[in-house]
Structure 1
């Protein structure tokens, strides 16, 4: 028997476990090594069994590629790398035997806000609705790509890529906003080669990548995608639903001229310091968040920015992960366009600024995640960590009192504490994880 062959197995880019979701949110550019990896990532042994020459001659055995080899590499990936997404024909809700649909040729586009479109799209992502061209959800929408867009737009029937254009108008790439679609209708293979995705906002300032919501195998997903798509990129056409509005700002509110497009999530959160943070603060103040800022908003990210952002998100009716205090494409879009609801006076206790508003992570109360503890980060969480290290007797590397800027002294003190727990190797790297935090703050 030949020697075992070892190969690194990585999770899919769109893995939505809590760990991967958190790290994609705060450190999206992970290929350089900052990304700590999927909790389940491990080195797997692929044992290649020896086969007789007679068996090989009798039948060719197809090689099984590692999952990472199937991952699309970019916009020029040939067709077939992404899952096939056949679709059904135009049909009533709940299918051919369901409720009566509109007569052929009659189009009705019910009004809906961009925020509602994205919220409806997120609902299927959260529930991981299985992809199935012959099945229908409880609300009557078909579980394929065009049924998904029909659901998000709240259309009165299950449309397909050949009819969605009747409910929309063609736009340019520069006009794309959350809630619009990118439509590829293949006349040569209308039910097997066509596809449509929902545009969730730009993922970078170069507008080369965007957040796509789509119904595909094995279930609904939200994934950063190269423009216009992984394959057949030149054949995807941007469309805008005719019934879309911008909420409180009214229907068809244009983007103010000269305003900045969403720069990407990497520009916000603990340790961030840039012009986009300052612009975010100014827009939030204009929408009623002034009480969260004891001083005018600046370029350094603070707890006030997070509390103000969360207050704006909650004013839209969002809860849970949709109101985490970190701006995504839709939050930014509503602020830039003047859409959505303003922050009301008073507000909830959950958006009070200060260290007490630090989110929990990994089920550990008060643990803010790893982002505040990376080189160059400045955060009240670093000061709080340092104070607890000193209190526990692990402050020997501080030449002066702990401060808000993460330093080598912080890392060495954390490492000393971790080693005192009996941990070695990667478990004692000096960066506080959820278990380090939990043990440090035990009374």
Structure 2
């Protein structure tokens, strides 16, 4: 089950949660745009702490808090609402599409940025010009909630608005604030590119000794049992799998003895080293 609260993010729960309507999973890209600067007159970036306090504690900010505030200069995150609740970062007219709820998730991401902000003496005209620190961690969390790596209305490359309610209703993926029905904002202007998903490992990582308790049901246990049978260590009358049983423990103990373990080290409860050597296929 994906994490409702992003790992590594500061948690500042504003409450006022509400369920989603279901449908294609979406993420919405925003920038805070809290100052109007120009190339001729850049302005200092507002601090991450200031925006965190605004969304987390100011009554007006709480009413518009996103799921995630992201600082692309440092890779810091604050989360205000769990992933399975709507946030209120989108305009939502009565009687129309419920923009903030129109999906299994509609994850609202506010990047701390405005055009021509100045940070450590350097001026940044577009979000993609920043270091984008933390983007891969953010992308991984959004992916874990089933949001596909697509921009149904095109990846934002300027501050033009384009909205299509039928596309919004039917297609999951990433949308710019400028692409959401009932909204008149033009951000984010740009957004970092998707990175390739990390390759899936060939073998199941060790789930920890505490995973192997009587009655635990998992495809991992079935795959483990099949490997034990293939190695000539099976002690099964039925199975293997899907639930951890005494037969699994006896079979794994036989594998441990095969590897040279004895005594308490061959008690049939998997350890990291013996598990790695068994090479249980990823399921």
Fold agreement, TM-score > 0.5:
no
TM-score normalized by the length of structure 1: 0.27
Which structure has the highest helix share of the two? 1
Which structure has more RCO (C-alpha within 8 Å, separation ≥ 6)? Answer: 2
TM-score normalized by the length of structure 2: 0.38
